[in-house]
Amino acid sequence: MTTENRSSTIRLNRVTKSFGDVTAVDDLSLEIREGEFLSLLGPSGCGKTTTLRMLGGFEEPTSGSIYFGDVDVTHVPPHRRDVNTVFQSYALFPHMSVADNIAFGLRRKGMSKWDAAGTVADMLTLVDLEGRGDRKPTQLSGGQQQRVALARSLVNHPKLLLLDEPMSALDAKLRKTMQIELKRIQTQVGITFLYVTHDQEEAMTMSDRIVVMNHGRIEGSGSPREVYEHPATEFVATFLGASNLLAGTLETATGEFDVTRHAYGSFRSPRHRTPAGLSGSVKVGVRPEKMALQPAGSPVADSDNSLAGTVIVSTFTGVGNQYLVAAPHGEQFVVYAQNSGQAFAPRSGEDVVMTWPVEHTFVVQPSKAVPAEGDSDD
């Protein structure tokens, strides 16, 4: 590892943060690579905002340390950290103009008002707010205020930009636009972004890497595709997208496949789709869009897993059909079939066979409790 590489990495080393009896962040270790767009994804109360606040210097870890490169910044106050934050409430200074808000950081570094003005104008252009510099923040719309908050942080060229659910106050349509906009800006300025959100779609759209958190711990991490296709735990499998899961016992068979025995028989799954060190009680699963339905009794291909069931609900969504299928013991599976003109479209009440390729079958560690997706900050 080169020294240059080391000096630009941000590391959390076994960080724990407790508030009284409540452990918000539990022995968390994480590396943030230079220039990446990293999302901390999890339900409210999972510790993602506390993690962000410790990186920003607003909270001190109860134990563990935080390094920027080789420098231990665990106890360095916010104003001496090369990190900037976009707050959920934006926290724009209401008594200052938009330009003064953006210039605030530059002025603290001793830049004159005159020198700052040019840089501020460039930032306003970057966030598409040319000529709005002399407005007061309250005279701008929510989306514009958010871009001011972004500009105010980016203008300082921090090592790391922290974003605390910055889109939660925006409506759905504006959110979509801002997601693309934010990714564009990040690519353009090349600053490391740490984005905290409970919105899995937001995390998937923008991130180079996603870290899924629950109960103060990391449940899984990787590129959006990795995390989606190879969920490490039941929590990740259900929080990030939908999954059909069945409890079973993992048996390591010979060859390249694992076998999970369950109430209806067994499923095969590729060895590499089982997280290392897993054995005994597991859950075996598949994503709804990887499955297909066949008429009951029809032959199943050798490369597929299959399970018989009865269609309970069939919903036409335009781009596809969504089926709710019940297995004989009552477990329900969601099957998603794209509307590509294929013929078999069973009605509710019809007996079917669910099939899916063995290669899309994954095995996860069961989670104790899976909380529903929250919509507030933690």
Partner 1 sequence: MSAKRGRWLGLYSWLLLAYLLVPIVGMIFFSFNDVLAGRPTVTFEWNGATLRWYRELTNVVGLPEAFWLSIRLALASMVAATVIGTLLALALVRYEGKRFRGRTAIDQTLFMNIAAPEIVMGASLLGLFASYHVARGFLTLLLSHTVFSIAYVTVTVRARLQGFDRHLEEAAGDLGATPLTTFRLVTLPMIMPGVLAGAMMAFALSLDDFVVSNFVSGTTLPFPVWVYGASRMGVPPQVFVFGTIIFLLGFAGAIASLAMSRRAVKSV
- Binding interface with partner 1 (CB under 8 A): 56-58, 77-79, 83-85, 87-89, 91-95, 104-105, 108-109, 136, 138, 152-153, 156
Candidates 88, 59, 42; CA nearest to 213 is 42
- Phi-psi category of residue 349: left, alpha or beta, with phi > 0 → left and psi -120 to 50 → alpha: left
CB of 96 to partner 1, least distance (A): 8
Candidates 216, 155, 178, 204; CA nearest to 18 is 216
CB of 180 to partner 1, least distance (A): 26
Candidates 216, 214, 231; CA nearest to 64 is 216
Report the residue number, 92 or 140, with the smaller CB distance to partner 1: 92
Report the residue number, 80 or 173, with the smaller CB distance to partner 1: 80
Report the residue number, 81 or 273, with the smaller CB distance to partner 1: 81
CA angle 46, 164, 148 (to 5 degrees): 170
The answer to whether 363 and 250 have CB atoms below 8 angstroms apart is: yes
Rounded distance between C-alpha atoms, residue 192 and residue 292, angstroms: 41
Report the residue number, 43 or 105, with the smaller CB distance to partner 1: 105
CB of 64 to partner 1, least distance (A): 22
CB of 122 to partner 1, least distance (A): 17
Residue ranges of alpha helices (H) inside 40-171 are 48-56, 98-108, 113-126, 142-154
CB of 152 to partner 1, least distance (A): 7
CB of 126 to partner 1, least distance (A): 17
Residue type, 226: E
Rounded distance between C-alpha atoms, residue 260 and residue 252, angstroms: 8
Report the residue number, 22 or 301, with the smaller CB distance to partner 1: 22
SS3 breakdown of the chain: % helix, strand, coil, rounded to 5?
Answer: 30, 35, 35
Report the residue number, 58 or 264, with the smaller CB distance to partner 1: 58
The answer to whether 315 and 322 have CB atoms below 8 angstroms apart is: yes
Residue type, 290: K
Rounded distance between C-alpha atoms, residue 134 and residue 123, angstroms: 14
Report the residue number, 55 or 232, with the smaller CB distance to partner 1: 55
CB of 103 to partner 1, least distance (A): 10
